[in-house]
Amino acid sequence: MTAKVANQKIDIEICDDDALIIVDLQPDFMPGGNLPVVGGNEIIEDINDLIPLFKTVVGTQDWHPEGHKSFASAHDSKQPYDLFEAPGLGPVLWPDHCIQGTFSADFHPNLSVDEITLILRKGIHHDIDSYSVFLENDKETETGLSGYLKSRGVKRVFMCGLALDYCIFYSAMDGINFGFEVFVIDNLTRAVDSPPGHLERALSTMKEIGVKFIEKKAILA
């Protein structure tokens, strides 16, 4: 579902201090994949258009070992999307998805990967999830992305990809906490919205902390 939340009516010129962060555009998050996000396949070409505008482009991959604890299959009598809370996991359990080295965890074949400057894999630790591209769900293990961006002089990050209420949400919040100005490109992301209401809460929390929502057309080519 597209969230109609763009709250910036401004035009944005991309400069060298800006980074594009393309989150988890992997077959498993597309319709037909193991953890499908409705409309996930609709945003790829528009994201491709933006890549040449940025000097720094990060592409992330959800990259789980088999039997990862975020999977319902790793718990007795649990089904995908069942509510579940444990340190570093939840609020739901997931279908098995994005298993390291499989086609479903690769970048979607239509994504233009040649100009990606950094590929970042997350969710690699067996017992803990990593929704954020900056910090694992223990809230202390860094992925190193903040350091990479800062060493390249990045001040503003533009986020797009999947899923709006999970990886984008936690990444946007951490992005602000690490001192970046964070823009979510509203029409180049889609949400899981599980459990119901998760998207609404994620959107209001992001707005409260100062995440800016823009549409692709606000970015001047």
User: Would you name the residues annotated as active-site residues?
Assistant: 24, 122, 167
- For Zn ion, give the closer residue by CB, 40 or 123: 123
Could you write out the three-class secondary structure of the chain? CCCCCCCCCCCEECCCCEEEEEECCCHHHCCCCCCCCCCHHHHHHHHHHHHHHCCEEEEEEECECCCCCCEHHHCCCCCCCCECCECCECCECECCCCECCCHHHCCCCCCCCCCCCEEEEECCCCCCCCCCCCECCCCCCECCHHHHHHHCCCCEEEEEEECHHHHHHHHHHHHHHCCCEEEEEEEEEECCCCCCCHHHHHHHHHHHHCCEEECHHHEEC
Task: Assess 135 for contact with ligand VGL (CB under 6 A).
Answer: no
- Select from Zn ion, ligand VGL, none the partner in contact with residue 163, using the beta carbon and a kind-dependent cut-off of 5 to 8 Å: ligand VGL
- For Zn ion, give the closer residue by CB, 170 or 180: 170
Task: Assess 162 for contact with ligand VGL (CB under 6 A).
Answer: yes
**In the complex, minimum distance from the CB of residue 10 to ligand VGL, in angstroms, rounded to a whole number:** 27
Task: Assess 24 for contact with ligand VGL (CB under 6 A).
Answer: yes
Of positions 20, 111, 145, 167, contacts ligand VGL by CB under 6 A: 167
Residues 168-197 that bind ligand VGL (CB under 6 A): none
Stretch that binds ligand VGL, among 39-47, 145-153, 159-167, 179-187 (CB under 6 A): 159-167
